[in-house]
Structure 1
Amino acid sequence: MPATYGFLSTYPPTQCGLATFNAALATHLNTGGGSGVVRLLASDNISGGIELDLGAPRVAHTWHTDNPGGWRAAADALNRYQVAIIQHEYGIYPGDAGGEVLPLLRALKIPSIIVLHTVLSNPDPLQRDVLERIALTADAVVTMTDTARQRLISRYAVEPRKISVIPHGAGTHANAPREDHDRPHLLTWGLLGPGKGIEWALRALALLEDLSPAAVYTVAGRTHPKVLEQFGDVYRDSLKELAASLGVADAVRWEDRYLDEASLFRMIRSADVVVLPYDSTEQVTSGVLIEAVGAGIPVVASEFPHAVELLADGPGLLVPHQDPEAMAAAVRHLLAEPGLAGRLTGLTGGPTLRWPAVAARYQALAGRLLAGRGPVGGAPIAGAPAGGSAVAGAPVGGAPAGGAPIAGAPVAASVPA
């Protein structure tokens, strides 16, 4: 019978990309039922408007991260399952540099898989120490790109054989019908905040004013809650002022809301080009990028690490950071050259990026860990798939997973908002 999994993460109805990622992975691994989620919940989480899939595991325990010592009960809850899958992102765990996840890991009596959503190239000493201790304590470490794996190996003291590369999953909406529209549609989505680079996309849009028909640009997603708390909607307001000064205000649509899955899929499929103009040079994982590629929509992206890895000779075009002229030229190229968008999107990894294939790799990794330990927390996996991954701890094949980090907040890299 399939293993049971205990997931530690933010979780719907919390509105963040990490919660969405964990819900998708948990749903696809919960094939036999019996798995559960330990939900991380901070007092400033924004919740609501998100419905879980019927197959998604339920919340078995909530770790209120504003209360000290919550790791003990969280560890006890995870130990009811056979394998723990723990999401790691900066800002979600209490303690300095999120250090309270360490005693939880040490208290686990079951195999643990830590999934790293951000690997900083220049961490401060405490961030480096905590991440190295996490990797040392966990049984397996997953990164979503080969770039992140190489960073871990070259810049941190992490055992290479522990690291597997498993891509960020994409939804199965590629075959959804495309909406007909009479104007080229450009799209950026995700939680909004400084570092998202929307100002560069607006400047690029102004350089495309000669297109006929004129392009329309949708900026979808709420303002990041940490940004809203500290600065209000200053960034969004500044973008609206910039659009007006550039003469493109009427061509920009602002969707200031968190999109449910169905609404997001429809919006993605309505786009002709997804624009990812991020300022970050750190971003090794982007769920937005994966969803766009998985949906078969060509991407124009700044040269952040995940885009460089996934789009090089693949389903999109790369442009230098903060370069609206290059961005406009790339968008124009995609819209004007017959067949180019189709040729580019035909180079995507396709089924290997879908959630069922991604979940199978996690299942295979869990199977190897359980086989190495013997029965843990119940019966071992029967018939765990042998394929989909390399030997224990080795990279799991190809590595297809914005905005700048916000102090003390999750790096909303994979936020489909």
Structure 2
Amino acid sequence: MSTRLAVVSTYPSTPCGIATFSAALVTHLAAAGADVGVVRLVDAPEDGAPPVVHQWVAGDPSGARSAAAVLDGYDVVVLQHEYGIYPGPDGQDVLDLMARVRVPVVTVLHTVLTRPSANQHRVLAGLVARSAALVTMTSTARDRLVEGWGVDPARVVVVPHGAEDNRAPGGGVQRLPERPATVLTWGLLSEGKGIEWALLGLAELRRRTPLPTYLVVGQTHPRVLERDGEAYRDRLVALTRDLDLTESVRFDGRYLSGTELRAVVRSADVVLLPYDSSEQVTSGVLTEAVAAGRPVVSTRFPHAVELLSGGAGLLVPRRDPAAIADALERVLTVDGVAGEMAATAQRLADAMLWPAVARQYLGLADGVRHPALPAAV
């Protein structure tokens, strides 16, 4: 009899990285033989269809209780955690859910902060205490839990983020000589993405070599749009104009996913992640870029340091346009550099693909369901 798994998360059509992550995980868990249902977090009730079996509506006083009643019909719960996706300050209502669920819970931690607020600390401590097992996607996040939060190392498993197989036939980076190189940044747009530093870096690069096309793909984050409108994007467009980069920079405000996004990623000669954060321990964009065999230039956030240090990309300081220009110049103009990075990324890809990741989750679920047996991870 197959394991019955319930996933608690945002879920498409919500434009959210965790929703996209959960949809891919659910698809591949089902392909591996699991019976999977989704308890979906929503701001307002929506039409639902399988695998969504229940909607937890923000603001519903009975939301956590109703969700827990559904979850207890499954063998194991796989709960995605990010502070911003659950109701209440810092998503604290997730603790009400955890207090009510009686089946084992595997909590997937998308963020592990080194300097949480008091309430953020309380929320994560509560999740740690009530979870049968914890998943991080990097060793950095695992170390933070073990060293900073005193979590038993045996309770924390590192499982890669997961990515579709988007490697181009034949591998490597190939560009038609008649077109400029393409540098790509994608994802939901918000302060902290560091696009302004990339634009300033391009202005510096222009003094040295013909400019690539810089493609910035993604809609403004819905929460940011509610609060600030398109203020950040408007500033970026204005900066592009002030730097006289309008011929080289393209903003595509669509939320791309699936086949369309994979095609855009494959077409990139370099993926640029100029993020401001020094805390980010999980990046789906980074994972997808490496799994597609694309050379990466990234600021030194923890996931990037861990994944790129072996040669799949170049690391640069945060908020340093000159360093971004240096790195792009090296990848785009020095013979063999892009090819070596792509080859290293190709070697990393197999362990990051969704079928392998789904098998690890199934093994972990079996382990918490039958604790006398070792988890096959």
TM-score between both structures, scaled by the size of structure 2: 0.93
Is 1:70 the counterpart of 2:63? The answer is yes
C-alpha distance in structure 2 between counterparts of 1:154 and 1:339, whole Å:
40
Structure 1 segment 14-33 matched on structure 2, within 5 A: 14-31=14-31, 32=33
CA shift for structure 1 position 231 = 1.3
Structure 2 counterpart of 1:175, one-letter code = A
CA shift for structure 1 position 212 = 5.8
| Contact residue 179 and residue 269 of structure 1 kept, 8 A | no
After superposition, the CA RMSD in angstroms is 2.2
C-alpha distance in structure 2 between counterparts of 1:179 and 1:371, whole Å:
52
User: Which residue of 134, 156, 177 corresponds with 2:149?
Assistant: 156
Per chain length, whose mean CA-contact separation is higher, i.e. which structure has more relative contact order (CA < 8 Å, sep 6+)?
A: 1
Structure 1 segment 143-222 matched on structure 2, within 5 A: 143-175=136-168, 180=176, 182-210=179-207, 213-222=210-219
Which residue matches 1:2?
2
| Contact residue 175 and residue 269 of structure 2 kept, 8 A | no
Which residue matches 1:351?
350
Structure 1 counterpart of 2:258, one-letter code = E
* Pair 1:326–1:213, CA change in 2 (3 A): closer
CA shift for structure 1 position 208 = 2.1
Hey, which of these two has a bigger chunk of helix by percent? 2
Moved more, 72-81 or 15-24: 72-81
Is 1:324 the counterpart of 2:321? The answer is yes
CA shift for structure 1 position 34 = 3.0
CA shift for structure 1 position 2 = 2.8
C-alpha distance in structure 1 between counterparts of 2:159 and 2:60, whole Å:
33
Structure 2 counterpart of 1:2, one-letter code = S
Is 1:304 the counterpart of 2:305? The answer is no
CA shift for structure 1 position 20 = 0.3
| Contact residue 112 and residue 138 of structure 1 kept, 8 A | yes
C-alpha distance in structure 1 between counterparts of 2:285 and 2:216, whole Å:
13
Structure 1 segment 9-158 matched on structure 2, within 5 A: 9-31=9-31, 32=33, 34-43=35-44, 58-158=51-151
* Pair 1:386–1:163, CA change in 2 (3 A): closer
Is 1:223 the counterpart of 2:220? The answer is yes
C-alpha distance in structure 1 between counterparts of 2:206 and 2:290, whole Å:
26
* Pair 1:266–1:356, CA change in 2 (3 A): same
User: Which residue of 326, 330, 333 corresponds with 1:333?
Assistant: 330
C-alpha distance in structure 2 between counterparts of 1:268 and 1:28, whole Å:
21
Structure 1 counterpart of 2:115, one-letter code = N
CA shift for structure 1 position 167 = 0.9
| Contact residue 303 and residue 319 of structure 1 kept, 8 A | yes
| Contact residue 132 and residue 157 of structure 1 kept, 8 A | no
C-alpha distance in structure 2 between counterparts of 1:14 and 1:65, whole Å:
14
Unaligned runs of 5+ in 1: 375-384, 390-417
| Contact residue 128 and residue 156 of structure 1 kept, 8 A | no
Q: Secondary structure at the match of 2:314?
A: strand
C-alpha distance in structure 2 between counterparts of 1:338 and 1:361, whole Å:
39
Structure 1 counterpart of 2:39, one-letter code = V
| Contact residue 62 and residue 74 of structure 1 kept, 8 A | yes
CA shift for structure 1 position 267 = 0.5
C-alpha distance in structure 1 between counterparts of 2:263 and 2:208, whole Å:
25
Deviations 1:75-124 (A, max 9, x none): 11111211110000011111232221122122222221000000111001
Q: Secondary structure at the match of 2:80?
A: strand
| Contact residue 292 and residue 349 of structure 2 kept, 8 A | no
Which residue matches 2:239?
242
TM-score between both structures, scaled by the size of structure 1: 0.84
CA shift for structure 1 position 144 = 0.6
* Pair 1:373–1:64, CA change in 2 (3 A): farther
C-alpha distance in structure 2 between counterparts of 1:172 and 1:200, whole Å:
30
Q: Secondary structure at the match of 2:140?
A: helix
| Contact residue 26 and residue 57 of structure 1 kept, 8 A | no
> For this pair of structures, how many residues does the alignment match?
370
| Contact residue 132 and residue 158 of structure 1 kept, 8 A | no
Structure 2 counterpart of 1:302, one-letter code = T
CA shift for structure 1 position 373 = 7.0
